[in-house]
């Protein structure tokens, strides 16, 4: 099949405004959008810029907006797009560095705010800090987050409130709040009860719809709100 990609092109500082460039690429239905982008770069236009690494939905670097939906280029099949233009754009809400590459620094700064690591000051046992399968089950889904930023880019709350911490950082927070080995649960919940944190989510569900790892992001945020209310009192975490 022929895949017709209409790709966002922009070089800040050199181009006055973005344009869309049309490429026609031969692709098998089971090939991914990333395969087509790589083929364009290799055979047609080596000035096209986009990020990718693992090509298997693990690193999160290839997130773009495909036909209006934020997601991974390496997880989106060519099948279903035959016979029409498919628009490929950078993740919305981020500064474009070039073409499909955006500056994710503000995103990772927000992830860093929630301290995305285990805090445990108890001297470790000889081998490792153990966890029961049941305890691990509580965070299994959140662990799947690959920090691709698709949820943040798709979230209407994020676009309306630039101070909102955003869905992916909240998923990262969930993972630590419910990790039986972490000793900072209360401090974490207090941080999450602050304005523009968990309570700022208004249940728009776009994060859940676009998550390439099928994490129920909105449910995760609502669970955090309930946990805040349980430990810090009603009204601290908004309505769940």
Which residues of this protein are in contact with ligand FES, per CB under 6 A? 52-55, 57-62, 72, 74
Q: Least distance to ligand FES from the beta carbon of 31, Å? A: 14
Q: Taking the CA atoms of the chain, what radius of gyration do you get in angstroms?
A: 20
Give the Cα separation of 88 and 71 in Å (integer): 11
Tokens of 45: 């236009």
Q: Least distance to ligand FES from the beta carbon of 58, Å? A: 5
Give the Cα separation of 65 and 57 in Å (integer): 15
Distance linking the first and last C-alpha atoms of the chain:
47
* Alpha carbon separation from 88 to 9, 22, 45, 127, 161 (Å, rounded): 10, 10, 15, 48, 25
Closer by beta carbon to ligand FES, 71 or else 238: 71
Closer by beta carbon to ligand FES, 55 or else 185: 55
Closer by beta carbon to ligand FES, 62 or else 155: 62
Give the Cα separation of 199 and 32 in Å (integer): 37
Q: Least distance to ligand FES from the beta carbon of 41, Å? A: 14
E strand residue ranges, 152-197: none
DSSP character for 122? S
Beta bridge partners of 21: 7
Tokens of 35: 């395969």
Q: Least distance to ligand FES from the beta carbon of 86, Å? A: 17
Closer by beta carbon to ligand FES, 26 or else 54: 54
Cβ(82)–Cβ(1) below 8 Å: yes
Closer by beta carbon to ligand FES, 38 or else 236: 38
Q: Least distance to ligand FES from the beta carbon of 61, Å? A: 5
Q: Least distance to ligand FES from the beta carbon of 57, Å? A: 5
Tokens of 84: 């029409």
Closer by beta carbon to ligand FES, 110 or else 213: 213
């Amino acid at each position: 099949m022929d895949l017709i990609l209409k790709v966002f092109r922009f070089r800040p500082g050199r181009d006055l405004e973005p344009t869309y460039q049309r490429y026609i690429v031969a692709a098998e239905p089971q090939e991914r959008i990333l395969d087509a982008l790589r083929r364009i770069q290799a055979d047609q236009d080596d000035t096209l810029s986009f990020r990718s690494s693992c090509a298997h939905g693990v690193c999160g670097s290839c997130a773009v907006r495909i036909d209006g939906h934020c997601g991974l280029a390496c997880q989106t099949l060519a099948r279903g797009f035959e016979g029409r233009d498919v628009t490929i754009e950078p993740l919305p809400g981020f500064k474009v560095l070039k073409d499909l590459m955006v500056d994710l620094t503000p995103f990772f700064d927000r992830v860093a705010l929630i301290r995305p690591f285990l805090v445990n000051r108890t001297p470790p046992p000889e081998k490792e800090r153990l966890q029961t399968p049941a305890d691990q089950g509580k965070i299994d889904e959140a662990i799947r987050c690959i920090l691709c930023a698709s949820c943040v880019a798709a979230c209407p709350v994020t676009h309306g409130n630039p101070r909102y911490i955003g869905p992916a950082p909240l998923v990262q927070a969930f993972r630590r709040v419910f990790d039986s080995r972490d000793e900072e649960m209360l401090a974490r919940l207090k941080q999450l009860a602050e304005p523009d944190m968990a309570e700022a989510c208004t249940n728009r569900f776009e994060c859940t719809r676009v998550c390439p790892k099928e994490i129920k992001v909105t449910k995760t945020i609502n669970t955090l709100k309930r946990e805040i209310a349980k430990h810090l009192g009603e009204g601290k975490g908004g309505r769940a």
